[in-house]
Amino acid sequence: MTTDSRSNARTAWIFILPAVLIMAAACLYPVVSAVRLGFYDWSMGTPWAQAKWSGWTSFEIVFTDPAMWRSLLTTLKFAAVSVSAEMFLGIALALALEGNIRGMAFFRTLFILPMMVAPIAVGLTWRYLFDAQFGLINAVLAVFGVAAKGWLADETLAFAAIIISDIWQWTPFVFIMVIAGLANVDTSVLEAARIDGARWWTLTTRVKLPMIAHVLAITLVMRLIDAFRVLEVIYLLTFGGPGDSTEVLSLHIYKTAFIGQKLGAASAISVLLLVVVMVLTWLALRMSNPLADSEKDK
Amino acid sequence: MKRRDLLKAGGIAGILAAAQFPLIRGVFAQDRYAKYRGQTVVMNVPAHPHYDAMAKILPDFTAETGIKVEIDKIAIGRMKDKQLLEMAKPQGDYDAVCYIVMWKGEYVKKNLVEELEPYFKNAALADPNYDINDIVKGYLENLGLVGGKKGYLPGPGAKLYGLPYGAETSVLAYRKDLFEKHGFKAPATYDDLQKILAPLKAKSGIGALTSRGQAGHQCVHAWLLHLNPLGGEVFDENWNPAFTRKPGIDALKLLKEISDTGPAGIPGYGQGEMINAFLQGQAAMYLDSILIMGQVNDPSKSKIVGNVGYALHPKGVRYASQSGGLGLAIPKNAKNKDAAFLLLQWLTSKAADIKVTKAGGNATRMSTLNNADILKQFPDFEILKEQLKYVEPDWRPIIAEWDEINIQALGVAVSEALTGKKTPEEALNGIVPKVTDIMKRGGYLKG
């Protein structure tokens, strides 16, 4: 290595180091702490000095607890259905509103409003909307002659309710990402495709969407991560019920930590959640990884 | 005798004589507060009608004592996490906390709250006119005592750690107009109650009895309301699960019937939806907390103003109405403990109890319930006075492990029975291993 390249490397490290330190403090420390806590039996409100080393016990309890596996399955189902629907609707909306249609700025603003609402407010609002007696949804259904439904009193309907509220809040995120991606598509490529006779469907599926594949992959990853962390809305809407039919993993972790006072077990489940999300992220990024491509470009 | 004559007289005799005169007593009271004037007591309370009423009378406390009060109001469901985090710090932000009765054992076990007797024995702080025996006995025992029989009942070793404030019992409220129109009588027993559920729904065209039903604490609360009068208990004397015995199963079967004949959606109802269904005229009966009494005749909340009658919580094999609700305690790591005690003492005094009751809060003292003005404003308190005789202090096991059993075991089982996913027998028997495990971990059972 020459003196120049050594100096360049040092300069690069000087610039990168603050970011690395901040990332380590903000991201790595909590993760390491969570893993460490998984090996202790500690109850909130007691001094850490009273925490007992429990070894792998918390992990054993967690992995043999049927409630945890049910919760993981619920989370996977929730993430699969809600994220698929959000991706589909978000892309469709973005394609519909990408052009210079009259009043489009208004619609774009309108569509991103749900994302700006605090999750607590979203949970409360949907709880009122789904109310069996006085909810707007049953009132609308009644207009079409459909009998009132106990949305939050039935396992299937309650699951549908949490999916609907998530789709309502997070489709705008997909919409924003995709519309930003579409705005950056090279118009000359689109023009060339049109000259070659490509119609709207072909242009969309063969040209536009492949050209924003990186954006779609990142959006998918971010939505998957968020879907696995969703807590407040479900906490307020169903508190995991009826039974434990809507108890997603983050709510299960919350209950284990703050109700069961088993901080060690809650941390062990958090580690499992982290692993699941990492695997899904890896799979999503395998589809189209912008970082890998930028490496190739060098 | 005039005030200045008394002051001239001086000495103990003068002080005792002075104490008979409100004006002079006020001077001593101010002395008690003088040291703390200008301090701010930070108080963590829930969004709850009783604490809304308290907020209306707090300016009187500040005017009288010079102690300011800062309220941190949060949703009742998030209160415990916040309090545990605060009370675990070397010095917390809270000088006083409102707690739900179920938390008292855990807070004491973790050494997080102050014992109150030393404060009441401190002549510099204690109000000599504070009559603790006037506080409803069941409330005081249920919310305040820790360390006695079973760890949470009166008996040798029991000590006072909190004062009831927002305590409650259960009462039956019913639609007088509908009962009269269709020829029903308010049920006096559980047999009567069960018999009228279906016909009441059929004839009135609305739900018979509203109830909580949401998974977790809410549905367990509803089940406990019936378990106790039917003679059941969660644990036997040796802490073995007893909820699978006949009264437990019967209570759950009844709750399912209540859900099926009640307003639509009970398995999803929290306390708010349950109350709302009754207030909006969607249910003919209500059997739950006395909180309803402050709301039925408020036209901004209720469509059934003037149409509600009250009766005792029906008798099963015994009368056993709910004991529970909210209390106030002082965290061990509070900054202004003495000022917090003065606030607690003031809030639960006879005069302030009348004020908060008039403002829409729950009465804590018998003197309030016997007060002529209060009875004029709330004539239905006559039934409450009668109901208080039947408050069951052992209504639920108030042990540190209860939250986990309540929400993660019973709260799932009762909910699954309500939706019909499991029969009451399957649901309750299915959680015995989990509950046994929790009790073993807590050291109540060997193994």
B30: pLDDT confidence band, cut at 50, 70 and 90? low
The structure tokens listed for A17 are: 């180091």
Q: What is the pLDDT of residues A91-113, one digit of tens each?
A: 999 998 887 777 777 887 888 89
B94 neighbors B114 (Cβ within 8 angstroms): no
B92 neighbors B333 (Cβ within 8 angstroms): yes
Say if residue B288's pLDDT is above 60. Answer: yes
Residue of A152, A156, A162, A269 best to disrupt the B interface, most CBs of B under 10 A: A152
B365 neighbors B136 (Cβ within 8 angstroms): yes
Mean pLDDT of chain B: 92
Q: In this structure, are B268 and B216 located in the same domain?
A: yes
Q: In this structure, are B341 and B429 located in the same domain?
A: no
pLDDT at residue number A1: 57
- In chain B, residues 246-265 whose CB comes closer than 8 Å to chain A: 263-265
Instruction: Look at chain B and report how many structural domains it folds into.
Output: 2
CA distance A140 to A118: 25
Q: In this structure, are B180 and B242 located in the same domain?
A: yes
Alpha helices, H only, B165-270: 176-182, 190-204, 217-227, 246-261
CB contact under 8 A, A132 and B88: no
To which H or E segment does residue A121 belong? Answer: helix A119-129
Integer CA distances (angstroms), B132 to A65, A172, B126, B299, B376, in order: 47, 58, 11, 36, 25
CB contact under 8 A, B265 and A239: no
Nearest to B356 by CA among B366, B372, B368: B368
Q: In this structure, are B423 and B373 located in the same domain?
A: no
Q: Which residues of B touch A151 (CB under 8 A)?
A: 265, 268
CATH code for the domain in which residue A149 is found:
1.10.3720.10
CB contact under 8 A, B419 and A155: yes
Distance from the Cα of residue A91 to its chain's centroid? 16
CB contact under 8 A, A132 and B80: no
Q: In this structure, are B299 and B372 located in the same domain?
A: no
Backbone angles phi, psi at B100, to 5 degrees: -85, 145
CB contact under 8 A, B88 and A244: no
pLDDT at residue number B14: 36
Q: Has residue B29 been placed in a domain?
A: no
298 residues of chain A, pLDDT tens digit each = 567 778 888 898 999 999 989 988 888 888 899 899 999 988 888 888 888 999 999 899 888 999 999 999 999 999 999 999 999 999 999 998 887 777 777 887 888 899 889 988 999 999 999 999 889 999 999 999 998 899 999 999 999 999 999 999 999 999 999 999 998 899 899 999 999 998 999 999 999 999 999 999 999 999 999 999 999 999 999 999 999 999 999 999 999 998 888 889 999 999 999 998 889 888 888 877 666 655 555 4
Q: Has residue A275 been placed in a domain?
A: yes
Backbone angles phi, psi at A244, to 5 degrees: -125, 30
Least confident of A146-150, B197-201, B339-343, B438-442: A146-150
SS3 of B380, please? coil
B51 neighbors B45 (Cβ within 8 angstroms): yes
ipTM computed for the complex: 0.83
Q: In this structure, are B290 and B330 located in the same domain?
A: no
Q: Has residue A144 been placed in a domain?
A: yes
SS3 content of chain B, % helix, strand, coil (to 5): 50, 15, 35
- Per the model's pLDDT, the better-predicted residue between B238 and B20 turns out to be B238
Please tell me which of the candidates B214, B276, B400 has its beta carbon nearest to residue A241: B214
Angle (CA) A156 B405 B109, round 5°: 145
**Which chain B residue shows the shortest CA-CA distance from A236?**
B77
Q: Has residue B396 been placed in a domain?
A: no
**Which chain B residue shows the shortest CA-CA distance from A150?**
B265
- What single-letter amino acid sits at B251? A
Instruction: Look at chain A and report how many structural domains it folds into.
Output: 1
Q: What is the pLDDT of residues B96-149, one digit of tens each?
A: 999 999 999 999 999 999 999 999 999 999 999 999 999 999 999 999 999 999
Size of interface A-B (CB pairs under 8 A): 112
CA of B207, closest CA in chain A: separation in Å? Answer: 11
B46 forms bridges with which residues in the sheet?
Answer: B74
CATH code for the domain in which residue B299 is found:
3.40.190.10
On the CB side of B256, CA atoms within 13 Å amount to: 20
pLDDT at residue number B384: 95
Integer CA distances (angstroms), A5 to A1, A11, A17, A297, B283, in order: 6, 10, 18, 21, 80
Q: Has residue B7 been placed in a domain?
A: no
Which residue range forms the structural domain that includes residue B290?
170-322+401-441
Q: Has residue A10 been placed in a domain?
A: no
B17: pLDDT confidence band, cut at 50, 70 and 90? very low
The answer for B136, left when phi > 0, alpha when psi is -120 to 50, beta otherwise, is beta
Which residue range forms the structural domain that includes residue A239?
38-297
The structure tokens listed for B201 are: 């729904």
